[in-house]
């Protein structure tokens, strides 16, 4: 009972934060959510919880699809490379699901963690500049 209450609160809190977040924060939350879902998937595989594994991997894939959809490929090489990397991550998650293996999940978690670290290190003034440029479009 207690666990369900915390889960419901967390979900509502996240939804509220996403509703008012700027695009930078939305991506940050998506990356964090992806890493959390991967951890859940790995735990489910270790427990041989097939349903839990499927749910967590499906949510991870949905987040990665969302990250892909957020890319503006007109900016050239960097978003194109990220798009390809996200495709690779999805392929590895399909491998993990099919083989009930946590190794591909670990690999994807490291990749997402690296992207999140880079994203988190964007200076505040650069974020503000990007938001003002976006608002002027």
Residue 93 in tokens? 């998650």
pTM: 0.83
pLDDT confidence of 130, banded at 50, 70, 90? confident
Residue 49 in tokens? 């919880």
Q: Name the average pLDDT for the chain.
A: 89
pLDDT at 8 over 60: no
Domain ranges of the chain: 31-121
Q: How do residues 76-109 score in pLDDT, each as one tens digit?
A: 999 999 999 999 999 999 999 999 999 999 999 9
pLDDT confidence of 15, banded at 50, 70, 90? low
Higher pLDDT, 47 or 2: 47
- Terminal-to-terminal C-alpha distance of the chain: 48
pLDDT at 17 over 80: no
Q: Which residue has the tokens 């690779």?
A: 88
**The domain defined by 31-121 carries CATH number 1.10.4080.10:** no
Beta strands in 37-134 (DSSP E): none
């Amino acid at each position: 009972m207690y666990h369900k209450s915390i889960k419901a609160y967390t979900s509502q809190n996240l939804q509220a934060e996403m509703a008012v977040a700027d695009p930078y924060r939305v991506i940050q939350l998506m990356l964090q959510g992806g890493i959390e879902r991967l951890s859940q998937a790995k735990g489910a595989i270790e427990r041989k919880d097939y349903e839990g594994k499927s749910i967590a991997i499906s949510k991870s894939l949905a987040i990665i699809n969302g990250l892909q959809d957020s890319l503006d490929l007109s900016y050239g090489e960097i978003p194109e490379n990220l798009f390809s990397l996200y495709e690779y991550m999805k392929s590895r998650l399909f491998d993990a699901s099919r083989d009930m293996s946590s190794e591909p999940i670990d690999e994807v978690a490291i990749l997402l963690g690296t992207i999140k670290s880079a994203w988190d290190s964007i200076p505040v003034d650069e974020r503000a500049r990007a938001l003002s440029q976006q608002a002027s479009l």
